[in-house]
């Protein structure tokens, strides 16, 4: 019978926030290039959070929705399902009026999740480098 710590570790392994394997496959196993793509992803996300901070002040829901759409492809490449859910929720809120506060909260929550995703990907990349 498994003890509790083993069960927790098993759960952690199953519930990945993101998965680098598809990107590694697309990069044909080229680790230098994987790192380059990871840097590009981080740049895109930084731009997203900077841009949406400005759009939120302007209450520009259309631009927020468009900015969210632009990061989808990158998030799909790293299979960051939770962040993709946030993008869907943000875009959905952007379709309705008087939702700026909700959108602001979703963006803030997504940023917290994003920081966890970055950490997870860094661990996965470190494991690749160690092989």
Which spans of this chain sit near other proteins (rule: CB under 8 A)? 26-28, 33, 36-37, 40-41, 43-44, 69-70, 72-74, 76-77
The answer to whether 51 and 67 have CB atoms below 8 angstroms apart is yes
Nearest approach in angstroms of CB 46 to other proteins is 12
Nearest approach in angstroms of CB 92 to other proteins is 16
Closest CB to other proteins among residues 3, 73: 73
Closest CB to other proteins among residues 4, 73: 73
Nearest approach in angstroms of CB 110 to other proteins is 18
- Cβ neighbours, 10 Å, residue 76: 14
Cα torsion 56, 57, 62, 64: sign: negative
Phi, psi dihedrals of residue 27, rounded to the nearest 5°: -90, 10
Closest CB to other proteins among residues 9, 39: 39
Nearest approach in angstroms of CB 76 to other proteins is 5
The answer to whether 128 and 20 have CB atoms below 8 angstroms apart is yes
Closest CB to other proteins among residues 79, 82: 79
Q: How far is CA 54 from CA 31, 59, 69, 115, 117, in A?
A: 35, 9, 17, 20, 24
């Amino acid at each position: 019978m498994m003890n509790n710590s083993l069960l927790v570790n098993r759960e952690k392994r199953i519930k990945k926030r993101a998965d680098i394997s598809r990107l590694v496959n697309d990069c044909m196993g080229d680790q230098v290039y994987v790192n380059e793509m990871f840097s590009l992803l981080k740049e895109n996300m930084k731009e997203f959070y900077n841009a949406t901070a400005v759009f939120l002040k302007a209450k520009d829901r259309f631009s927020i929705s468009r900015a969210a759409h632009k990061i989808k492809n990158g998030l799909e490449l790293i299979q960051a399902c939770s962040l993709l859910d946030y993008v869907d929720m943000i875009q959905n809120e952007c379709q309705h009026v008087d939702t700026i506060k909700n959108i602001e909260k979703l963006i803030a929550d997504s940023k917290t999740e994003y920081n966890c995703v970055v950490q997870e990907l860094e661990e996965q990349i470190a494991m690749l480098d160690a092989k």
